[in-house]
Chain A
Amino acid sequence: MNHSLPTPLPVLDRLLLRAVSHITPVSERADWFRCWHAELWHRRHPYSDRVHGAIDLYPGLLSDAVWLRVECWRRATTGTAVLCLAVLASMSLIAMLPLLALFSRVELTIAFLSTQMPRLVIEASLTTVVGFALASRPVESSTPFEGLRFMKAKLFHASKLVLVQIIAYELSLALTQPFHSVHALAMVIVQAQLFTLLALLGLRWNFLDQDARCRHCLRTLASPSRVGRPSWNFLESNGTHLTCPDGHGLLSIPEIETSWRQNSEWIAQ
């Protein structure tokens, strides 16, 4: 960005501006460059008797660029399906740490978890059946939800389901395994019950999370807003609207189930 300045910026300022500008996101780089070009110029040429150096602005210049970059990443990743799966995968690794501490070696822990795999499959299958049976309030959609988007959504749902069950199983093992030597049979029963409880809670969260995501991009819906008048329950619909941050649509959730409006509805934009 060039301006016909009576005195140009010193070489150091120009080099620094050019170098740091690469940290900023491309979409905001020109504006950032123009802004800091002006800030440095005015710092060096104040309309007063005092003459400042611009060195005290250098940390601001750098931290401003870093802030823009981090904000760009935050906006791009907040509420996305990838972030959700990454967090769940990290949690499954963290949930393995108590077992790792118990067995003190990675190979022993993996060998132990391998022996538990058949039980995990049986218990997870049963809790999944129960979890699906307990799931209620399906979301209706004004537009057909099929094809690649449908496959992506189902794949994401299934991945979360598997990860949640793994976390629940690891936690149940971590909590009961230290007492296994005291009473083995009792701990097997306690572990199964603990797993069922944790897995059902996880499945419940999974369904709620899936319902509260955009049908198009799978980002978490945001900006809840109340609609309708609560006192008019029998005359008109009232509830909450959640919108996709990327503007793909909104989810209308009724406050109470009525004969004319039982389920949440996804309205594509």
Chain B
Amino acid sequence: MQRLSHTAALILKALSLGYRFGFEIMEVSGLPSGTVYPALRRLERDGLVESNWEPEDEATQNARPPRRYHQITIAGKAAALAVSERYPLLTRLIPEKQA
């Protein structure tokens, strides 16, 4: 398994806690957008994260454009577990997402 940077670990941890959108991750991690969005792309390229579009109908009903959301893959979950062991303070940095 490849070693992740602290930034990638932070983003992966946020995704594993249920944050799905780019600027949600920015807010919860305190990272700037210029770091978060390319990092999400890299994680997606490496198969740790996958992204999908919201259903068009749901967005239209709410009179808003559909958004792309990110979710962690099985490989990403394994990587998130590994980074939690490597960076134990990560769990304290990001709070659990409230439903």
Q: Indicate with 1 or 0, residue by residue over B64-76, a CB within 8 angstroms of chain A CB atoms.
A: 1111100000000
* B-chain residues with CB within 8 Å of residue A41 when the two chains form the complex: 64-65
* B-chain residues with CB within 8 Å of residue A57 when the two chains form the complex: 22-23, 33
B38-A56 in contact (CB<8A)? no
* Residues of chain A in range 38-69 having any CB-CB distance to chain B below 8 Å: 38-39, 41-43, 45, 52, 56-64, 66-68
Total interface residues on A, using CB and 8 Å?
Answer: 27
Residue B36 at the chain A interface, CB threshold 8 Å: yes
Complex-state Cα separation, A58 to B35, whole angstroms:
12
A64-B41 in contact (CB<8A)? yes
Complex-state Cα separation, A61 to B38, whole angstroms:
9
B38-A35 in contact (CB<8A)? no
Tell me the interface secondary structure of chain A in the complex.
Answer: helix
When A59-B32, A59-B33 are in contact, do A45 and B64 touch as well, CB less than 8 Å? Answer: yes
CB distance from A10 to the nearest CB of B (A): 15
Residue B4 at the chain A interface, CB threshold 8 Å: no
Complex-state Cα separation, A37 to B64, whole angstroms:
11
Contact of A71 among B32, B45, B60 (CB under 8 A): B45
Total interface residues on B, using CB and 8 Å?
Answer: 21
* B-chain residues with CB within 8 Å of residue A35 when the two chains form the complex: 67-68
CB distance from B8 to the nearest CB of A (A): 14
Residue B1 at the chain A interface, CB threshold 8 Å: no
B65-A56 in contact (CB<8A)? no
A60-B63 in contact (CB<8A)? no
A64-B65 in contact (CB<8A)? no
- CB nearest neighbor in A for B32: A59
- CB nearest neighbor in B for A63: B34
A39-B22 in contact (CB<8A)? yes
Residue A6 at the chain B interface, CB threshold 8 Å: yes
- CB nearest neighbor in B for A5: B65
Contact of A56 among B33, B45, B60 (CB under 8 A): B33
* A-chain residues with CB within 8 Å of residue B26 when the two chains form the complex: 56, 60
* A-chain residues with CB within 8 Å of residue B42 when the two chains form the complex: 67
Complex-state Cα separation, A62 to B60, whole angstroms:
28
When A57-B23, A59-B33 are in contact, do A71 and B67 touch as well, CB less than 8 Å? Answer: no
Complex-state Cα separation, A214 to B22, whole angstroms:
39
* B-chain residues with CB within 8 Å of residue A38 when the two chains form the complex: 65-68
CB distance from B24 to the nearest CB of A (A): 10
When A43-B23, A71-B41 are in contact, do A3 and B34 touch as well, CB less than 8 Å? Answer: no
* Residues of chain A in range 49-104 having any CB-CB distance to chain B below 8 Å: 52, 56-64, 66-68, 71
CB distance from A146 to the nearest CB of B (A): 37
Complex-state Cα separation, A186 to B65, whole angstroms:
77
When A5-B65, A39-B22, A45-B64 are in contact, do A56 and B32 touch as well, CB less than 8 Å? Answer: yes
Q: Which residues of A contact B (CB under 8 A)?
A: 3-6, 34-35, 37-39, 41-43, 45, 52, 56-64, 66-68, 71
A-B contact pairs, 18 of them (CB 8 A): A4-B63, A5-B64, A5-B65, A34-B65, A35-B68, A38-B65, A42-B67, A52-B23, A56-B32, A57-B23, A58-B33, A59-B32, A60-B22, A60-B34, A61-B33, A63-B35, A66-B38, A68-B41
